[in-house]
Amino acid sequence: MKILLVYPEYPDTFWSFKNALKFIFKKASHPPLGLLTVAAMLPEEWKKKLVDMNVRGLNDEDLEWADFVFVSAMTVQKESVKEIIARCKKTGVKIVAGGPLFTTGHEEFKDVDHFVLNEAEITLPLFLEDLKNGRAKPVYTSNQWADIKKTPIPLWKLVNMKKYVTMNIQYSRGCPFNCEFCDITLLYGHKPRTKDNAPVIKELENLYSRGWRGGVFFVDDNFIGNKRKLKKEILPAIAEWVKKKKYPFYFNTQASIELSDDEELMRLMVKAGFDTVFVGIETPNEESLAECSKFQNKNRDLIACVKKIQHFGLQVQGGFIVGFDNDPLSIFETQIKFIQNSGIVTAMVGLLHVLPSTQLYRRLEKEKRLLEVASGANTDFSINFIPRMNCEALIDGYKKILNTVYSPKYYYERVKTFMKEYSPLQKKRFRFRLDYLGALFKSMLFIGIIGKERLYYWRLFFWTIFRRPRLFPMAVTFAIYGFHFRKIFEKYFEIFEKKVSLNGC
């Protein structure tokens, strides 16, 4: 049996980093961990090939070679998925689909031959057994949760690691919280399920043995869901391993704001090699936090929490949302002030987006306020529900946030705010790489000479050299990120201005 695993293309979005990847000669941020894990679950004797469309195009020869095409995707990849399905049907190759996009809305894709939904550890063996016996069904689903301690190591031999910025690994699934707009608990449950020390270290060892050196992203939606196990077992084991290997990796992940409450946990994360964490801030408005059941963020000085995490040596990336029912007209200025004062350089600000099957979806459906299917990209000015705030005021306010926080003046000001206070506690082992040197020279040309932000670029360049020389690589990285963010939002503005009417309003 010949299996072609296809990962759909991401559109240009905030997190695609497409404009930044060009500086370091990479094609994508990280490889498709889900598909690589599925590949490891397939019979060993089957032939397998991976096409990550973010790295290279899907050729007709690829489709003609395959007996089955396996596709996994998230909502934001929907348009690419539709193109893949159309090409498969034209070629006559059968399609097997799974992942978040299909688990929450497979009815939309009529031409898929087999859906293997929910967690593949449970549903994929059922499909394979039926396929072997010639009676494969259209849909496989389950309401059970998998024991991820038994999940195999991803089949890394299918990817060219040199094409990616970071590798990835999964330690846990599930989140103890219940945010109204989020689909994580729907997909993975409330109770965090974790791997033990041995499989985590084995996965790191596997990446190391394949020659990987650099960033590793723990894809967990809330890495600190089980704090006790992290502190007692996982982080000490990782710290011991990276020390033994002379610090080949540095890690980033996602966590809830309550990380700031646990100093021991932050110290252990930094000791283990973590340097960045994404936190869902959402909004400084208490009423909006209560509305979306983000109770873990309520009754806090959120800026103080962010700065505490930064002080312990972890860069905070933040997610922000406008468009809640309880957002006042002042929310836009409030968000701008919060982002600037917090020193969160990578601040993703999006419009509230209604994902299928979430609590928010059910509430707005009941209130007859749903308008269209979610695009999965909450930064593209699309609104798929009727907001309480006047729609034009919401869009104008959102544009004001983006025009401010990603303008060169405010963005570089925020970079300096962060770098003045940030003091990494763990020294990275520096390894000279030609792509780093290339990124520096390309940034000097495309940002420092041609870019709109050139004045601010050189100010940061020399300020860092003389004041915080240890952070110089970070300063160049932030400059490149800022270039990407500006390009993305300029593109969105241009598309939006061409529309005859407000999308979704």
Range 37-46 average pLDDT: 98
pLDDT for the residue numbered 421 = 83
Tally of CB atoms within 10 A around 435:
14
Q: How confident is the model at residue 428 (pLDDT cuts 50, 70, 90)?
A: low
% of the chain with per-residue pLDDT over 70: 95
Which tens digit of pLDDT belongs to each residue from 66-96? 999 999 999 999 999 999 999 999 999 999 9
In this predicted structure, the answer to whether residue 239 has a pLDDT above a threshold of 70 is: yes
DSSP, collapsed to helix, strand or coil, labels residue 442 as helix
Query: How far is 121 from 42, CA to CA, in rounded Å?
Result: 11
Domain 2-140 annotated CATH 3.40.1000:
no
Q: How confident is the model at residue 462 (pLDDT cuts 50, 70, 90)?
A: very high
**Superfamily name and number for 165-343:** Aldolase class I (3.20.20.70)
pLDDT for the residue numbered 372 = 78
Which tens digit of pLDDT belongs to each residue from 467-491? 999 999 999 999 999 999 999 998 8
% of the chain with per-residue pLDDT over 90: 89
Q: How confident is the model at residue 495 (pLDDT cuts 50, 70, 90)?
A: confident
pLDDT for the residue numbered 501 = 46
In this predicted structure, the answer to whether residue 374 has a pLDDT above a threshold of 90 is: no
Q: Which long-range contacts (CB under 8 A, 24 or more apart) does 204-212 make?
A: 204/169, 204/238, 204/241, 204/249, 205/241, 206/153, 206/156, 207/156, 207/167, 207/169, 207/249, 208/245, 208/248, 208/249, 210/156, 210/157, 210/161, 211/161, 212/161, 212/167, 212/248, 212/249
Query: How far is 269 from 259, CA to CA, in rounded Å?
Result: 10
What are the C-alpha distances in Å from 73 to residues 96, 365, 385, 388? Answer: 12, 25, 23, 31
216 closest CA partner among 205, 225, 226: 205
In this predicted structure, the answer to whether residue 386 has a pLDDT above a threshold of 70 is: yes
In this predicted structure, the answer to whether residue 375 has a pLDDT above a threshold of 80 is: no
In this predicted structure, the answer to whether residue 10 has a pLDDT above a threshold of 90 is: yes
What are the C-alpha distances in Å from 279 to residues 221, 299, 316, 383, 412? Answer: 10, 17, 7, 23, 21
Range 423-434 average pLDDT: 62
Least confident segment among 157-166, 178-187, 286-295, 430-439: 430-439
Q: How confident is the model at residue 496 (pLDDT cuts 50, 70, 90)?
A: confident
Mean pLDDT score of the chain, rounded to an integer?
94
pLDDT for the residue numbered 205 = 98
Range 276-299 average pLDDT: 97
**Look-up of token digits 């690419």:** 80
Which tens digit of pLDDT belongs to each residue from 206-234? 999 999 999 999 999 999 999 999 999 99
Q: How confident is the model at residue 497 (pLDDT cuts 50, 70, 90)?
A: confident
**Contact at 8 Å (CB) between 78 and 355?**
no
Q: How confident is the model at residue 500 (pLDDT cuts 50, 70, 90)?
A: very low
All structural domains of the chain with their residue ranges: 2-140, 165-343
What is this structure's pTM?
A: 0.94
User: Regarding predicted confidence, which is higher, 491 or 111?
Assistant: 111
Which tens digit of pLDDT belongs to each residue from 314-341? 999 999 999 999 999 999 999 999 999 9
User: Regarding predicted confidence, which is higher, 431 or 146?
Assistant: 146
